[in-house]
Chains A and B, each alone.
Chain A
């Protein structure tokens, strides 16, 4: 069943948008599309977008979710923005490592580390 509650929680710290995944699964195609659309909106609202994705709650994700994240990364890059990922649990990090996406994304252990890693 599609989830009806918001799939993302978005806050802001200085010029950085902090996006937290609300649910523990990023699997459902409809949810993935919603997340992708929201991220695209956040990317397009600034000339040089700065986005931090917090995976604290995420326990399962699929290759479709990875595709959505790659799409967001490509859009951020196209606008000379910055994207960071944080609080990725070890089993989920393993998915990034197997697919070598840990080389593509800037993944930092804590939110504090990630916030400090953004260039002005």
Chain B
């Protein structure tokens, strides 16, 4: 069975991002993904797309977000790319450290990395690739 591929080019707004998330989640449901894999992927997609729209494109209506999903019954691979200046993953502090615990932001990346099997940044941080396996593992991997 060949992979199902979905491609989107959306403006920098949240309703468009939600529609994309819903379509990808529907495909995952059709392919038999379990509750936990769906929960994890929905959460990671939300964080990645909000990051792209808000921090990447800075809500600029002239900029777009490109989303590509490749799915089969065993794993889903999602790429989200913005048109912003990019960022360095290493420069994002760990929100779990005592001095950062009361800060109101900076947890999206931690959640993505905890819930997905693989998270990779490229193109200067403008592109993130996330992979989630459809496995019975009920608990997310805590990001190191």
Interface residues, chain A, with chain B CB atoms under 8 Å away: 1, 27-29, 60, 62-64, 66-68, 70-71, 73-74, 91, 94-95, 98-101, 103-104
Contact = CB atoms under 8 A, between A and B. Distances in A.
Contacts of B62: none
B14 interface: yes
B142 A98 contact: yes
Interface string B41-67: 011001100100000000000000000
Interface in B21-75: 36, 39, 42-43, 46-47, 50
Interface stretch (B1-9, B80-88, B97-105, B120-128): B97-105
B108 interface: yes
Contacts of B15: 1
A70 B50 CA distance: 19
B95 interface: yes
Given A66-B107, A99-B111, A104 B50 contact: no
B104 A95 contact: no
A64 B50 contact: yes
Nearest to A62: B46
Q: Is the interface of A mostly helix, strand, loop or mixed?
A: helix
Contacts of B103: 70
Given A28-B14, A64-B50, A94 B139 contact: yes
Contact of A100 (B36, B101, B104): B101
Given A70-B102, A74-B102, A99-B111, A62 B47 contact: yes
B111 A63 contact: yes
Given A62-B43, A63-B107, 20 more contacts: A28-B14, A29-B14, A60-B42, A60-B46, A63-B105, A63-B108, A63-B111, A66-B107, A67-B107, A68-B104, A74-B102, A91-B36, A91-B39, A95-B43, A98-B114, A98-B142, A99-B96, A100-B95, A100-B96, A103-B101
Given A28-B14, A64-B50, A94-B139, A104 B101 contact: yes
Nearest to B42: A60
B11 interface: no
Contacts of A100: 95-96, 101
26 contacts: A27-B18, A27-B46, A29-B14, A29-B50, A60-B39, A60-B42, A60-B43, A62-B46, A63-B107, A63-B108, A63-B110, A66-B107, A67-B105, A67-B107, A70-B102, A70-B103, A71-B104, A73-B102, A98-B142, A98-B143, A99-B95, A99-B96, A99-B111, A101-B101, A104-B101, A104-B102
